[in-house]
Structure 1
């Protein structure tokens, strides 16, 4: 099938390299926007950091977010499991006094028992037992997570299966698991904000950056379905999908 030039050009725009955890190419240009949550993870983290003496940022990505939360406590570490991000994070953070560790197993972190009084985690996997091991009694754990129902509208529109590995991940399960491992939940909330795509190139760029959303996604194989979404955007102006987000603040007991 022959597709129009605009569609092909937008698909081509998705080939721009993705680095660290920086979506400014599509978010900063307004090609993707998200409905605000009723909480701010950044504001919550910043408030806790000010009262911390030793903290860990789990899954720091390229260190983009953490670098904006200064001033840091006297002891600060970060972990990252995605190998391409590790040198980016080290380059950005270590000059700021943050020691960055590459990790391979959430159940084996390179820290002593009861080492941190604050652990923050944005959109990163974690082991409840290991977080409890390395946090002090009365230490605080703050996490914002992507729920298992996130952006299923994309999969539906492309006719692709959901990622079954995460489908049952939600606030109730996360809270129960933390409580079973020695934490008391202090705050929590779960919401389903809208994410809006204004062009098909932004959608393809997004899917390439987070391949776990649709592990079977292939641009050439899905081109007809992508063109149908492109036509929808041309008619309506945008393509909306429902996100899944929740956060918890918990105290180690």
Structure 2
């Protein structure tokens, strides 16, 4: 993902989507609840691509320490402002090179962010667990079709999951568990959907092409339902033990 994009969005909204009115049906899990199920009081946890760190508060009291990293300076500034737990730290860091000693963490989590399997394996303790949730190729399929561009356009379905599985296996992980879901989302108003497209990389350079406004109007018209404007959310989960 584009670091400049996330820096800009952090300055504007602090990565706060709490006011977005959307209903979702068919989600099979909540990622950070899955992390919470595995942690123990003595665990040290690393969260890669932590954003504003708001999701970490849900299990902060259940572990010894959580370190959230993000390569966006603005995101980390927002995280430090919003979180005052004594056992949560935030650092600007690129996931390609994790600046931690070998075998530093019991759990490593990564939601919707890039990671390097060999680096994750290096910083995990023996029997440590890595959990990641990523956006699948079929996400927001109707939106990508109308705009004829998207963050995962032209990638074969299942390619990303298989690529990550191969990388984790090559890095030395075993006992890999995977799950997927396709959920249906309803954005209450056109403004809610517009906010999503303006503040995420679902459609690259959204709003910078003169035809985007016309395509957005078509999207709202074609997919308006009594529940809201319909699209889909497609995700996959990997849980890998070292």
TM-score category, normalised to shorter length: 0.7 to 0.9
Structure 1 residues 235 and 42: CA distance shift in structure 2, 3 A: closer
Which has the higher mean CA deviation after the structures are superposed, 217-226 or 127-136?
A: 217-226
In structure 1, distance between residues paired with 2:85 and 2:227? 44
Structure 1 residues 109 and 166: CA distance shift in structure 2, 3 A: farther
* 1:131 maps to 2:120: yes
SS in 1 for 2:217: helix
* 1:251 maps to 2:220: no
Which has the higher mean CA deviation after the structures are superposed, 147-156 or 231-240?
A: 231-240
Tell me which of 195, 212, 215 is aligned to 2:204. Answer: 215
Alignment-derived partner of residue 64 in structure 2: 74
In structure 2, distance between residues paired with 1:57 and 1:235? 37
Runs of 4+ with deviation above 6 angstroms: none
Equivalent residue runs for 1:52-67 within 5 Å: 52-67=42-57
Structure 1 residues 69 and 75: CA distance shift in structure 2, 3 A: closer
The 8 Å contact of residues 45 and 108 in structure 2, kept in 1 or not, is answered as yes
In structure 2, distance between residues paired with 1:235 and 1:37? 20
Structure 1 residues 143 and 164: CA distance shift in structure 2, 3 A: closer
In structure 1, distance between residues paired with 2:31 and 2:85? 24
SS in 1 for 2:90: strand
Alignment-derived partner of residue 200 in structure 1: 190
Tell me which of 153, 173, 181 is aligned to 1:191. Answer: 181
Normalization by structure 1: what TM-score? 0.81
Runs of 5+ in structure 2 lacking a partner?
A: 1-10
* 1:118 maps to 2:78: no
* 1:87 maps to 2:77: yes
Structure 1 residues 184 and 165: CA distance shift in structure 2, 3 A: farther
The alignment's C-alpha RMSD in Å is 2.4
In structure 2, distance between residues paired with 1:83 and 1:167? 30
In structure 1, distance between residues paired with 2:96 and 2:151? 22
Normalization by structure 2: what TM-score? 0.84
Runs of 5+ in structure 1 lacking a partner?
A: 1-16
In structure 2, distance between residues paired with 1:154 and 1:38? 22
**Residues paired across the two proteins, number:** 229
Alignment-derived partner of residue 168 in structure 2: 178
SS in 1 for 2:96: coil
Alignment-derived partner of residue 162 in structure 1: 150
SS in 2 for 1:170: helix
SS in 2 for 1:244: strand
Structure 1 residues 244 and 18: CA distance shift in structure 2, 3 A: farther
**1:195 Cα deviation from its structure 2 partner:** 1.7
**1:236 Cα deviation from its structure 2 partner:** 5.6
The 8 Å contact of residues 194 and 240 in structure 1, kept in 2 or not, is answered as yes
In structure 2, distance between residues paired with 1:234 and 1:135? 46
Tell me which of 139, 145, 170 is aligned to 1:150. Answer: 139
Tell me which of 18, 24, 31 is aligned to 1:24. Answer: 18
**1:94 Cα deviation from its structure 2 partner:** 5.0
Larger Rg: 1
